[in-house]
Amino acid sequence: MILGLTRSWSLAGYFITAILILPLIALIVQSTLPDQAVFSHLFNTVLPTYIANSLLLMLLVGLGTLVLAIPAAWLIARCDFPFRRYFQWLLLLPLAMPAYIVAYVYTDMLDYAGPVQRVLRAWFGWQSPLDYYFPAIRSLGGAAIILSLVLFPYIYLLARTAFMEQSSSLLYASRVMGCSPWRSFWRLAMPMARPALAVGVALVAMETAADFATVSYFAVPTLTTAVYDTWLGYGSLTAAAKLSAIMLLVVFSMIGVERFARRKQQLFQKQSSLNEADRYVLSSKMAWVALGYCALLLFIAFLLPFMVLCAYAIDYFNESWDVRFWQYSLNSLYIAAIVSGVCVVLSLILMFVRRVSPRKSDQIPARLSSTGYALPGTVLAIGVLVPLTFIDFAINDIYDWFGARGPGLLLTGSVFALIFAFCVRFIAISIGSLENSYKRISPSLDMACITLGRTPTQLLWRVHLPLLRKGIFAGALLVFIESMKELPAALLLRPIGFENLATYVFQFVSDEKLEHGALAAIVIVLVGLVPLIYLNRSLEQQG
């Protein structure tokens, strides 16, 4: 705490925050405006179905991820079987897979013209779709399965940690009181893991609600696709803002659930980790079952789609390896580089003010600036468009007033809107990373530096920056990667004619020829693996 900290630091914090929460505020304001009957038309026709679809999808994905993740988490946390140590981190890999890519691969494989149905038809002599029943993958159920496959690692991770942090003595107690492993699982481990599971389901539900690409590809209309279509189809910002407000309601109630569950989680989980010796030793048959389950999950959710991508890339190498691939990769790289640079600088200012300011109110900006992370990409895009369109028009009006020709859409027509949206969404990541690093710097270092006659700015440069290096790097890297992967916001905000890797790949997915964009898809998957390596390493350091 620096008592003499000048107000300009605090003002800088408030200024940054004001800009970063502008989209959220604008969205809420815009959603209260009356619109040109678009919303009431939607409301009277398709909106109830969209809302029902969104909620049903969240419910199904929540259930699906629980069913997939809990056995894996329990086996890896509490049992011993061959290759357990590898599966511990291998099961995180599906997180790197964009759902729409997995969706594409499985559609390609399972629909009428795909190899699976072809083989079935050849075997059984069926001639047409009328001869047999095969579940349609392009459906709400199909979307739920695909999303469950890529999102289950959230719950796996939280549940595994929960199971591992349950105290060994509780396990002993239930054993000596005659509980079989099964009984202690149902009576002890599961109830204690409930808060962690609730946190996981809330996160999964938020991701599901925010998903645009998968449901769009499967033509399942949800709130997210409705926001997208309302803006691009009807051109009504107000109606899109109203739909976004409904989304926000859903997302913020999920955040509420998550916060509540996290508080409970602290009651049930101690920071002690399980003794290696306390794992159940499985019989060789059961060990094979356990190994088989984990291997199958990994295969279906990650290995198979990834191998198919690689096969596409090899078969269609010449189509993939063209100037567009390089051009769009470069676009992705430079946007991501700018975003991560901006995010790091802004979050450094915010966190510095938060750390050293003597004013209580200065704790707020860093917290408030992180809320952008909760906004689904499509909603965020609308939130960014509202104020930027207003500013663009205002600028042109001013030119007109002076009789000059306006510069056109300065902000919404350039990559500025895209960069701004990415900063709003991903600054939470760099803030979190810096927050963690700051926790490891003893407050007495600040006091020592200040009492040795150094100014707050010198404290930041000469002490904090060198000591935060790792956190800054990690934050920048994670923001960079997320910016490369983010799709829906990019789809809505990119200037005409501009593509980056994500929009380029999605274009191929929509056009049913991902084969031609396989290289780009592989790059996105590989880039997505980097944060998982980070995550795994930080988990191992804790353990």
| Site residues (vs other proteins, CB under 8 A) | 1-4, 358, 442, 444-445, 447-455, 462-463, 466-467
Report d(CA 367, CA 364) in Å as an integer: 5
Nearest CB to other proteins, comparing residues 292 and 443? 443
CB of 326 to other proteins, least distance (A): 40
**Token pair recorded at residue 446:** 């600040």
Instruction: Give me the DSSP letters along 403-449.
Output: TPPP---TTTTSHHHHHHHHHHHHHHHHHHHHHHHHHTS-HHHHHHH
Nearest CB to other proteins, comparing residues 129 and 358? 358
CB of 499 to other proteins, least distance (A): 43
Nearest CB to other proteins, comparing residues 90 and 467? 467
CB of 463 to other proteins, least distance (A): 6
CB of 459 to other proteins, least distance (A): 9
Nearest CB to other proteins, comparing residues 84 and 464? 464
Nearest CB to other proteins, comparing residues 1 and 116? 1
Q: Under a CB-based contact definition with an 8 Å cutoff, are residues 112 and 129 in contact? A: yes
Nearest CB to other proteins, comparing residues 415 and 474? 474
Report d(CA 10, CA 281) in Å as an integer: 57
Q: Under a CB-based contact definition with an 8 Å cutoff, are residues 484 and 525 in contact? A: no
CB of 356 to other proteins, least distance (A): 11
Report d(CA 460, CA 455) in Å as an integer: 9
Report d(CA 261, CA 245) in Å as an integer: 24
**Token pair recorded at residue 25:** 């505020």
Give me the sign of the Cα torsion angle 60, 63, 64, 65: positive
CB of 454 to other proteins, least distance (A): 6
Q: 202, 258, 256, 216: which is closest to 50 by C-alpha? A: 216
Q: 101, 63, 457, 33: which is closest to 240 by C-alpha? A: 33
Nearest CB to other proteins, comparing residues 25 and 465? 465
CB of 465 to other proteins, least distance (A): 9
Q: Which residue has the tokens 């049992």?
A: 79
